[in-house]
């Protein structure tokens, strides 16, 4: 068995580099220790890694119930990949909305982060709705309203 060790340097924010957290851009500071052409490996931790299995399972159960109510009251969609994907998108939408709420009520109270989570939730909702559109039964016998 062979092991390789690569020496590494830990660079310091605002000394060696700056981060624009809104755009996700990293900028080298000219007076810092980072050399031109140097390969950098970035380590990070996700903002939210504290969703328990119970929270995720509940989101999936809720999403499945929404899809079943909309297009599959006989609960047959487990075999249909498109409806499974639609339910997955709905679960992600629910989790994103939960993340938005955490941003709004958390200690940081970042409206911009909450807005980003809401936009992502709306994207997942839109994708889910597009997938289930063909499964919805067409409206039959639409009649104009009448005066009584």
Which H, E and C letters describe 20-44, residue by residue?
A: ECCCCEEEECCCCCCCCCCCCCCCC
**pLDDT 10s digits, 113-126:** 889 899 999 999 99
pLDDT beyond 60 at 46: no
Which is more confident, 78 or 110? 110
* Domain spans in the chain, listed from the N-terminal domain onward: 8-44, 53-135
For the chain, the residue count is 148
What DSSP assignment string belongs to 44-69?
Answer: ---S-----HHHHHHHHHHHHHHHHH
pLDDT beyond 60 at 26: yes
Q: What is the dihedral of CA 102, 107, 110, 114, to 10 degrees?
A: 0
**pLDDT 10s digits, 73-109:** 766 656 678 888 888 999 999 999 988 888 888 666 6
CB atoms within 10 A of CB 58: 15
118 in Cβ contact with 101 (< 8 Å):
no
> Rounded distance, CA 89 to CA 126, Å?
9
């Amino acid at each position: 068995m062979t092991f390789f060790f690569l020496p590494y340097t830990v660079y310091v924010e605002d000394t060696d580099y700056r981060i624009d957290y809104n755009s996700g851009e990293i900028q080298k500071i000219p007076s810092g220790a980072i050399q031109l052409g140097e390969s950098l490996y970035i380590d990070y931790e996700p903002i939210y890694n504290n969703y328990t299995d119970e929270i995720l399972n509940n989101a999936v159960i809720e999403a499945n119930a929404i899809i079943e109510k909309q297009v599959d009251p006989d609960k047959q969609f487990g075999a249909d990949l498109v409806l499974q994907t639609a339910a997955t998108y709905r679960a992600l939408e629910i989790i994103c909305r939960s993340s938005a709420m955490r941003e709004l009520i958390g200690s940081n109270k970042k409206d911009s982060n909450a807005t980003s989570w809401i936009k992502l939730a709306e994207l997942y909702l839109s994708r889910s709705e597009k997938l289930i559109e063909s499964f919805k039964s067409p409206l039959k016998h639409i009649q104009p309203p009448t005066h009584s």
